[in-house]
Structure 1
Amino acid sequence: MTSRLAGHLLVECLIAQGVTHAFGVPGESYLAVLDGFHAHADRIRFITNRQEGGAAFMAEAQGKLTGRPGVCFVTRGPGATNASIGVHTAFQDSTPMVLFVGDVASDARDREAFQEVDYAVFFGPSTKGMAKRVERIDDARRIPEYVARAFATAMNGRPGPVVLVLPEDMLTETVDAEPLPRLEPVQSWADPGSLRQLRELLLAAERPLVLAGGGGWTSQAAAALQRFAENWQLPVANTFRFQDTFDNHHPLYAGDVGLGINPALARRVRESDLLIAIGPRLGESTTGGYTLIEAPLPKQKLVHIHASAEELGRVYQPTLAICATMNAAARCLEVLSAPPQLPWVDWTAACHADYEVNVDVRNGGIRLPGPIDMPAIIHSLQSHLPADAVLTNGAGNFASWLHRFYCYHGLVKGHKTQLAPTNGAMGYGVPAGIAASILTGRTVFTIAGDGDFLMNGQELATAVMHGARSIILLVNNASFGTIRMHQEREYPAHVSGSSLTNPDLCALARAYGYAAEQVLTTEGFEPALQRALAAEGGTVIELLLDTEVITTRGTLSAIREQAIKTGR
């Protein structure tokens, strides 16, 4: 065995697990690990971020893109608390991730030392916490054991984040332990009896509908899901912000079930007599606040397939619960034999027709104030972005345009193409897009609001430093638009706290090293996009959008009038 600093051993353990990039903000509490990154710079890159929240979002995006734990390093106290937003996102999005936190030295613990925090309490591993597991490594010889367990915990069952705490004195010890071999996620297979019962439920159904999403999907699993849907001619809807789980161009696609759902699709969900949920945990956004699918006993027959037994029956009592990982579940389903004639072919065709009407920008159903036509803007994206482009967004009503009108090719084509936070975290899109560029080299497009952009816009400096290239559509309506929408509904004409005074956002982007231009009309967007696609570096395209334009379902004035009429 070779003796080396514990901090170097930790980096070698990451390399053994296949990690090529780690994101973080440097701290004096883990200098020995930073030295380890320097020693192994030919095999792993440490991406220096400008704020821990941005670093954690990048690691979460890494987990989504690769299916293996994204890695983030932060220092104690403020560093860890800043990073908690990414941990919470990874937890609610079921994304594998490991957060390493440099900590106070062992001889100073429990004295409220400089920046000391009880991380087990703060990250609270539980069904209501932010992490699946929180552990401290006190013995440097056990670093390989802890790292391997963290990766196994992050990947297996319902994927999620793990926090490992690193006392700074432990990292400077000399140790002769060796890294453990690379771990692969364990596959959990559906039992034959459950599959027979599922087939019987299908044979008795008249209006079945598949809801696909959640964590743990691979391109192979997505392809198997598509074959299952084709064999049984099933309509498939993707759940909130997992729109790339099933190819949106496929004739069996029914749309996305989430915030701003197509009313026609909402009716289809309610009218369905058999819902087959493959992968999602059926959270609040997907279920319309637990009303689209009523809790705890749905009106529809519900088959719930999930990788974690703890999620099955947690909110909904399903007709049939199947504990299986997505790769195994989809491969089981694709060989489930279907009869030659199916009674719901017209139902399936109608579900897809509803979707096509909803995404048709020429249907004349949307009239927006001002010179910017957002559906036409998204249509331009569809025409010019390559099929494997990665699209990212944070939280805000601006994202609803992308969710409604962009058609994802999806995982079945071999690539993860959507990175978006199901927990509604603002500031996610910019760092996620930069991480996607660093990790994949593919075309990356981010849509961000002005409030959303300014939460992590500093990561443009990270992009320039590390050679990343993203295109950012910055929708500037001088407000926190989602909050303004809710205000107009609940307290009409009482604007409070939601208006913004912004800097010159194009000048700010240029200061970081991005190209930037402002677009004032719909016609000006397409040539700006083409210039951005041809550019060597990143570009910000700022759209000035009328504050009255809030959602694809209406404007502020319409929301205001409805609120006044209803007394809300």
Structure 2
Amino acid sequence: MEKRAARRLTGTGGVLLVRALEQLGAERVFCVPGESYLPVLDALHDASIPVTVCRQEGGAAMMAEAFGKMTARPGICMVTRGPGATNAAAGVHVAQQDSTPMILFVGQIETGMRGRDAFQEVDYRQFFGGMAKWVAEIEDPARIPEMLSRAYHVATSGRPGPVVLALPEDMLAQTAEVAELPAFVPLETHPSLAQMADLQKRLWAAKRPLAILGGSRWSEGARAAFTRFAERFQLPTACSFRRQMLFDNLHGNYAGDVGIGINPKLAERVREADLLLLVGGRLSEMPSQSYGLLDIPQPRQTLVHVHAGAEELGRVYLPDLAIHATPNGFCAALEALQPPNAIAWEGAAATAHDDYLAWSGARPQVPGALQMAQVMDWLEQHLPEDAILANGAGNYATWVHRFHRFRRLNTQLAPTSGSMGYGLPAAVAGKLKYPERMVVCFAGDGCLQMTMQEFGTAAQEGAAIITIVVDNGMYGTIRMHQERDFPGRVSATTLVNPDFAAFARAYGAHAEMVETAAEFAPAFERAAASGKPALLHLKLDPEAITPVRSLSQIRAG
């Protein structure tokens, strides 16, 4: 069949860039404006792509990263040169650690000024080279379609991650004629028949198998196919750190999350497994309990590692069976596998699930009038199944990760990189992608203040998120470690905080102070009914440092 010639388009670099993004299917741009890429901003004025104006480049990059998490396509962020780019590095790092497709466009000085340490000049290849999958500069507007097509494929293929493209000012003003791009279609890799036959033999020979799901590139179809496989094989299935949404937490095969503060019974189950099926994830420091659950380089357990990035197979752990495939490709192939006539581990999934229910159903008491266990209890009974929960880093996040039961895909926005400040911008991105769904941001008082200015972005966009600020007047995680290692010697971990509710009201939001668990339910209902961005300022006793241990207990050892 003869191929139809691509249509031609003439325009400035700014116009060609925006048109290429439209052709590739970009849904939204997150940005902080800068004079270094004014032609792009001008072209966006007439484009079909919505633009979200953020308050700081780190927040903009985190929003783009969260958008990439939800769509499995590159989240798009645009920032200006120098300090704009360096601020955005926080979000680029999240994308790298979390294996999220993202493209950061950076305005750049004119090409003729390079190498003179011109105003806000940065060598982006050096700066982002160890963090991004690919860093390049578009020097000729005629190459924009080529470079953007490559950026989309690099960001999404194999182990996804961030791409950084610098845009010189003079290039954006120059004119060129280019061919239009076709819509972007992600590449999928699939396992071989021999590999799937090998996997079935290993499963048939196993006595104590366990699956751990993680990573990115999951879809509803892949999730459903793996669930059917787990049901047929009665396979206990866990999820990796901050990836609980990959398997219905109330499904009878769910064994819990392999992350920080792991259920000791689940940790033992991982250690004692004779076959580990690791799909999509890398089992890095946090889920592996500081690389203690599996021996390196040769695990004691038979390891079947499935990953979309060939470079990740054997990088840390030597797998007995390495399968280079995306979750979509691998899970589709699982449909052909059949369980043995007699399942040697029959009943193990039910036992593992009971252990998970007991662990996540515990309601520990903490010092003070505000009992977070009661707050979580109420949320578990009233949040819709498709509610999106976003959080950053800190001890407060333990309440979400241990006690919330994720039921559906795309209901969790949390950084495996452990980046503070992530929750609020991620929640804004979640609400813009799914405006019909409830979006709840959990943030600690220290975490929120990393990106608190993005509440202004929520207000400007009319993104009716509900932010729950857990305020204990300190950098809680650091204080916990400090009290453990240097008891009674508090240094640089105390915070003097604002009235967060008053701050939110200054943006026209609904906001309330909550000091007891009894006050929480009606306050949350009023926040949800307001139809506006909302913030609930929860005052937590400083002694309530974790769900299971107070500060005084940590000091006492």
Q: What is the TM-score with the length of structure 1 in the denominator?
A: 0.95
Deviation at 1:348, TM superposition (A): 1.7
Deviations 1:371-402 (A, max 9, x none): 12212211211222211111100000100110
In 1, Cα distance between the equivalents of 2:313 and 2:99?
A: 15
Structure 2 counterpart of 1:565: none
Retained in 1: the 8 A contact 2:25–2:184?
no
Structure 2 counterpart of 1:427: 421
In 2, Cα distance between the equivalents of 1:298 and 1:401?
A: 32
One-letter identity of the residue aligned with 2:110: A
Deviations 1:222-264 (A, max 9, x none): 0011011011010110000111001111000000000111111
Retained in 2: the 8 A contact 1:438–1:467?
no
Residue 17 (structure 1) aligned with residue 11 (structure 2): no
In 1, Cα distance between the equivalents of 2:469 and 2:278?
A: 34
What secondary structure sits across from 1:248 in the alignment? Answer: coil
In 2, Cα distance between the equivalents of 1:293 and 1:514?
A: 48
In 2, Cα distance between the equivalents of 1:2 and 1:316?
A: 49
Retained in 2: the 8 A contact 1:296–1:317?
yes
Structure 1 counterpart of 2:118: 113
Deviations 1:437-480 (A, max 9, x none): 11210210010000001111101111111121100110000000
Retained in 2: the 8 A contact 1:445–1:472?
yes
Structure 2 counterpart of 1:51: 56
Retained in 1: the 8 A contact 2:366–2:548?
no
Structure 1 counterpart of 2:371: 373
Structure 2 counterpart of 1:447: 442
* Deviation larger for 87-96 or 174-183: 174-183
Of 523, 533, 541, the match for 1:528: 523
- The size of the alignment, in residue pairs, is 549
Retained in 2: the 8 A contact 1:394–1:425?
yes
Deviations 1:156-212 (A, max 9, x none): 111111011100100011122133112211111111221111111111111111000
Of 407, 418, 434, the match for 2:412: 418
Residue 37 (structure 1) aligned with residue 44 (structure 2): yes
What secondary structure sits across from 2:542 in the alignment? Answer: coil
Retained in 1: the 8 A contact 2:10–2:16?
no
In 1, Cα distance between the equivalents of 2:320 and 2:547?
A: 35
In 2, Cα distance between the equivalents of 1:81 and 1:501?
A: 27
* Deviation larger for 175-184 or 209-218: 175-184
Structure 1 counterpart of 2:406: 408
Cα RMSD for the two superposed structures:
1.0
In 1, Cα distance between the equivalents of 2:208 and 2:9?
A: 63
Retained in 1: the 8 A contact 2:13–2:175?
yes
What secondary structure sits across from 1:465 in the alignment? Answer: helix
Structure 2 counterpart of 1:178: 179
Of 78, 99, 108, the match for 1:73: 78
Aligned 1:118-517 pairs, distance under 5 A: 118-124=123-129, 129-361=130-362, 366-411=364-409, 416-441=410-435, 442-517=437-512
Residue 554 (structure 1) aligned with residue 552 (structure 2): no
Deviation at 1:214, TM superposition (A): 0.4
Percent pairwise identity:
52
Deviations 1:255-283 (A, max 9, x none): 00001111111111111111110000111
Deviations 1:1-60 (A, max 9, x none): 3422210110111111111210010000000000010021xx111111000000000000
In 2, Cα distance between the equivalents of 1:152 and 1:115?
A: 30
What secondary structure sits across from 2:179 in the alignment? Answer: coil
In 1, Cα distance between the equivalents of 2:548 and 2:157?
A: 39
Of 5, 13, 17, the match for 1:6: 13
In 1, Cα distance between the equivalents of 2:253 and 2:362?
A: 20
Structure 2 counterpart of 1:94: 99
What secondary structure sits across from 2:166 in the alignment? Answer: strand
In 1, Cα distance between the equivalents of 2:180 and 2:127?
A: 29
What secondary structure sits across from 2:246 in the alignment? Answer: coil
What secondary structure sits across from 1:176 in the alignment? Answer: strand
In 1, Cα distance between the equivalents of 2:378 and 2:550?
A: 22
In 1, Cα distance between the equivalents of 2:552 and 2:281?
A: 35
One-letter identity of the residue aligned with 2:357: E
What secondary structure sits across from 1:177 in the alignment? Answer: strand
Unaligned residue ranges in structure 2 (runs of 5+): 1-7
Deviations 1:338-377 (A, max 9, x none): 1232111222221111101001145xxx221011221221
In 2, Cα distance between the equivalents of 1:436 and 1:110?
A: 40
What secondary structure sits across from 1:184 in the alignment? Answer: coil
Retained in 1: the 8 A contact 2:395–2:477?
yes
In 1, Cα distance between the equivalents of 2:507 and 2:544?
A: 29
One-letter identity of the residue aligned with 1:488: E
Structure 2 counterpart of 1:566: none
One-letter identity of the residue aligned with 1:554: R
What secondary structure sits across from 1:260 in the alignment? Answer: coil
One-letter identity of the residue aligned with 2:415: P
In 2, Cα distance between the equivalents of 1:284 and 1:184?
A: 33
One-letter identity of the residue aligned with 2:523: A
What secondary structure sits across from 1:455 in the alignment? Answer: coil
One-letter identity of the residue aligned with 2:259: G
Structure 1 counterpart of 2:3: none
Deviation at 1:530, TM superposition (A): 1.1
In 2, Cα distance between the equivalents of 1:160 and 1:517?
A: 38
In 2, Cα distance between the equivalents of 1:485 and 1:372?
A: 19
Residue 63 (structure 1) aligned with residue 68 (structure 2): yes
In 2, Cα distance between the equivalents of 1:367 and 1:535?
A: 31
One-letter identity of the residue aligned with 2:389: L
In 1, Cα distance between the equivalents of 2:162 and 2:311?
A: 16
In 2, Cα distance between the equivalents of 1:400 and 1:159?
A: 27
One-letter identity of the residue aligned with 1:445: V
Deviating beyond 4 angstroms after TM superposition, the runs of 4 or more aligned structure 1 residues are none
Deviation at 1:78, TM superposition (A): 0.5
In 2, Cα distance between the equivalents of 1:158 and 1:184?
A: 16
* Deviation larger for 473-482 or 11-20: 11-20
Deviation at 1:552, TM superposition (A): 2.4
Deviations 1:122-159 (A, max 9, x none): 111xxxx2110001100100101101100011111111
